[in-house]
């Protein structure tokens, strides 16, 4: 249900039930290069198809899926398949994937029906990063304030 410009957060179990019954997650292009083990992030588990997600875009380098607690009518997370913990950890070897993700961010927003959108990257716990796997928040469909936060 939408109210006040953003979605009422759903419990994760309700999201999974809906995703599973509506077959809303795609199991193609599974990337087996994403790390496995007990230190795996929730995003790595999504990449490895260990937990479901409402995937809206995927290629060999990145994956985009709807946020389970959307803050706007469109709230999609775009993640690299090769994990980088945070933007500050990126270096010269990551410039291709970072550029690729910026191009794909625009394509995903257009695919979702939005020309205007906001991109947010949180870098570190103090500024709100809760999953330490680099991700772009793509938000659209409501008015945003400046400065953010």
Cis before 147 (ω within 30): yes
Count CB neighbours of 125 within 10 A.
10
Enumerate the active-site residues: 135
| Dist CA 51 CA 34 (whole Å) | 14
Pairing of strands 118-120, 136-140: antiparallel
């Amino acid at each position: 249900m939408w109210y006040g410009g953003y979605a009422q957060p759903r419990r994760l179990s309700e999201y999974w039930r809906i995703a599973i019954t509506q077959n809303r997650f795609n199991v193609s292009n599974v990337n087996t290069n994403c790390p496995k083990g007990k230190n795996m992030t929730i995003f790595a588990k999504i990449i490895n198809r260990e937990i479901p997600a409402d995937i809206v875009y995927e290629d060999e380098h990145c994956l985009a899926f709807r946020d389970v607690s959307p803050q706007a009518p469109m709230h999609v997370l775009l993640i690299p398949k090769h994990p980088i913990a945070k933007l500050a950890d990126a270096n010269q070897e990551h410039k291709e994937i970072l550029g690729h993700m910026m191009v794909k961010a625009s394509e995903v927003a257009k695919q979702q029906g939005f020309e205007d959108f906001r991109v947010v990257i949180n870098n570190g716990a103090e500024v709100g990063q809760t999953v330490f796997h680099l991700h772009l928040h793509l938000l659209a469909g409501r008015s945003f304030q400046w400065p953010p936060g």
